[in-house]
A = this chain, B = another copy of it.
């Protein structure tokens, strides 16, 4: 909701990128934009943190490379967000593997753009995140959505209907007896179902099952 009119002061941007050529390229382009103002350029996370105290005002957006030498961008994210809770971080990288994306988002990134995109996209992402958005490259957005999808692999057809219901109860954090009550069954029956579920899903404890459920496959 905060203003972003042409009369607004340029957005304070920090750029962390280890490749000197790329850094030059990006900063050249981004700094030329009237809406932006590069207040910090760093080639590593360490350099970034060192330069931070020199700034009069904290950057509003940090464009952070994931694959940095030394402390990776991913690793320094928590500290960055701790020092600058109100600063938006956009990850910038060639990696589009689910795990890195997941880690970045969990650690407080508000955007994730890939490096194979036109510079205009990069600029758009920076502006977008400053406006309260969450810019993500196509592939990244899909990965993110994949985290929510049911992954109809195992369950569909594998587990019988009753077993599904029992599983549901377990997922809700209930014990065998409570599940039995909910379904109007004998606790022993539930126990049998649970055992069969374990066998079918290849796990051997409630914890494992719930862990799996929470992660990949619902």
Show the binding face of A for B, using Cβ within 8 Å.
102, 105-108, 110, 128, 131-136, 138-139, 141-142, 144-145, 147-150, 170-175, 203, 205-214, 218
Counting every copy of the chain, the complex holds 2
Q: Which of the listed residues A131, A147, A209, A211 has the most CB atoms from chain B within 10 Å of its own CB?
A: A211
For A218, the chain B residues whose CB sits under 8 A away are 106
Task: Compute how far the CA of A44 lies from the CA of B211 in the bound complex, rounded to whole angstroms.
Answer: 38
For A172, the chain B residues whose CB sits under 8 A away are 211
- Closest CB pairs A-B (n = 3): A173-B211, A134-B141, A173-B208
Q: Is the CB of A136 within 8 A of B141?
A: yes
Known: A173-B211, A173-B212, A210-B207. A142 touches B132 (CB 8 A): yes
Q: Is the CB of B128 within 8 A of A133?
A: no
Q: Is the CB of B110 within 8 A of A145?
A: yes
Q: Is the CB of B210 within 8 A of A173?
A: yes
